[in-house]
Amino acid sequence: MLSETYRQFLRLVIYQIYPRSFQDTNGDGIGDLPGVIRHLDDLLELGVNAIWLCPCFRSPNDDNGYDISDYCAIMDELGTMGDMERLIDQMHRRGMKLILDLVPNHTSTSHRWFQESRKGRDNPFSDFYYWFDAIPNDWKSCFGGSAYAFDEQRGQYYLHSYAPTQADLNWNNPAVVRAMQDVVDFWVDKGVDGFRVDVVDQISKDFENGRNCFGPRLHEFIHALFGREKTRGLFTVGECWVNDAQEMERHSAFERGELSTLFQFDHMECGRADKFTPKPDSLRTVRDILIRWQQKTAGLNLLHSLFTDNHDQPPLLSRAANDREKRYESATCLAAMFYLLKGVAFIYQGQEWGTPSARYQSIDSFNDIESLNAYQAFCQTMPSEKALEKINFGSRDNARHPLAWNGQAGGGFSDAKPWIPLHSRYREINRELDRAASQSVYRFYQALLRLRRETPAFLDGDFQVVSRPEDGWFAYARTLGDERWLVVCNFEKPQTIRLPFALEAPRLSNLNRAQADGLYAPYECAVCRVLTG
């Protein structure tokens, strides 16, 4: 049985904003907090009731805000503390929740804590980070190269799981735990409703077994942040690569006082060798992963999370479906596949009008540290055109370009030169055009979110899989009491789908047809109530 708090959280539809790319209001080519405030009513109209805002704290921006130099100040380009307070106020007036992005595993090396720490071995910050006289193991940074860098000033090596300017905090030091509690409390006092917690699995390292994550004190550290009286009611979602449902429950059952939910990334990875190597991520693979997780988590005391996209991956639309000839059908079909399952819904900005992956002619169009490092490495072993091809496929910037609100110069994002180029197809794919189109991804999302909100079976109902593994389609039922709903999503081939139920006329379908003959077009989807009695 889910606690009442979790039953309420299941009703959240959380819109992820990458603030640099959302809306510029002061003409510097970088999105900002007033830009978020400007669109709150648009998000309400879509059916969203919460925002996860990617990091907006002071930062030198080597990793776009995931390298924080002051957790309690706003990044200059994004606005002021006054803007943040206004955002919180404006959201609460509309009944929306604000979820900030907490980055507890590492700070920027320009954070005061690191600046003090590097000064020597006997000051209050000396043990805030992991320092070594000699490199202790062969751990690699996620952005390439060794995870250890030498600091001349201190004369020792420090650990950085990401860029050398992102030093890992030493959570075994109780002062670090207290400092991060203070950060959380500062924002709770400002009124925020929760946190997305960046790479939370890494805050306890398992040096003994050679893993820089899932260390022996992980539960204790998370509990120290979110299990206190002050923080118990927050909504928290951990970036935490757990593969085992029972382990997931240990991290996120309400009574544990740890996290409310975790992101599960299996469907994002789809068994790819690495993120720059295309592998047809067929919808069958995605479907099977979704089914597995719905089944594994059924009956457990946890909340599952549902998402197709985020700021670290090119859109699933481009990887798993047809973002050219069948873009509308694919985008809407994916929405039906995911968001009528059981879980908390997360939507990434621009996904709601079917934004596909971007493509650029030159490496100069990219900004992301991971992509630029990978490009350099690829160029050692292949021609630069091939290397660019890989970056065009897998870059995080393919999801981070400025939003195209309309098809005019600047895309309605900014009148100035944007910090990275607009999407290569923005004149043809933008919010204004999509909303007015006869086939509108946006309007489909709106209708789907309304149906989800108004139908208890989609929130609390049980999940049953109807299609078989060999089928080129996905059908599932959601059942609550006497009420049963069926969601049918066809994949790339037209085909006749016979279902073992008598159905009412579709309540939602992307091609607005009755499917009376059972014939489904490519990526056609339909949501129907099952006739009872």
Contact footprint for ligand NOJ (CB under 6 A) = 63, 66, 103, 162, 198-199, 239, 311-312
Q: Which residue number, 221 or 328, has a Cβ lying nearer to ligand NOJ?
A: 221
Q: Which residue number, 84 or 103, has a Cβ lying nearer to ligand NOJ?
A: 103
Smallest gap from residue 498 Cβ to ligand NOJ (A): 42
Residue 256 vs residues 91, 247, 326, 460: alpha-carbon distances, Å? 29, 12, 45, 21
Q: Which residue number, 66 or 348, has a Cβ lying nearer to ligand NOJ?
A: 66
Identify how many contiguous H helices and E strands the chain contains and give both numbers. 17, 22
Residue nearest to ligand NOJ (CB): 66
138 is catalytic: no
Neighbours of 345 (CB within 10 A): 25
- Which of 198, 258, 309, 352 is catalytic? The answer is 198
Alpha-carbon gap, residue 468 to 484, rounded angstroms: 19
Q: Which residue number, 108 or 117, has a Cβ lying nearer to ligand NOJ?
A: 108
239 is catalytic: yes
Per DSSP, 102 falls in state E
CB 378 within 8 A of CB 386: yes
The half-sphere exposure of 236 on its side-chain side, counting CA atoms within 13 A, is 28
Listing DSSP states for 24-52 in one string gives -SSSSSS--HHHHHHTHHHHHHHT--EEE
Q: Which residue number, 344 or 399, has a Cβ lying nearer to ligand NOJ?
A: 399
User: Which residue in the block uniquely carries the two structure tokens 């776009």?
Assistant: 64
Smallest gap from residue 202 Cβ to ligand NOJ (A): 9
Smallest gap from residue 340 Cβ to ligand NOJ (A): 26
Radius of gyration for the alpha carbons in the chain, expressed in angstroms and rounded: 23
Smallest gap from residue 484 Cβ to ligand NOJ (A): 37
Alpha-carbon gap, residue 417 to 410, rounded angstroms: 8
Residue 292 vs residues 168, 295, 420, 501: alpha-carbon distances, Å? 34, 5, 38, 23
CB 328 within 8 A of CB 366: no
Alpha-carbon gap, residue 203 to 18, rounded angstroms: 24
Q: Which residue number, 275 or 311, has a Cβ lying nearer to ligand NOJ?
A: 311
Mention every residue, 6+ apart, whose C-beta is less than 8 A from residue 360.
366, 392, 421, 424
Smallest gap from residue 456 Cβ to ligand NOJ (A): 33
Smallest gap from residue 155 Cβ to ligand NOJ (A): 27
Chain-centroid distance of CA 373 in Å reads 22
- Which of 24, 77, 201, 239 is catalytic? The answer is 239
As given in the structure block, the two tokens for residue 505 are 């006329």
Listed in sequence order, the DSSP H helices in 66-173 are 81-93, 112-117
Smallest gap from residue 128 Cβ to ligand NOJ (A): 17
Q: Which residue number, 102 or 475, has a Cβ lying nearer to ligand NOJ?
A: 102
The residues assigned a catalytic role are 198, 239
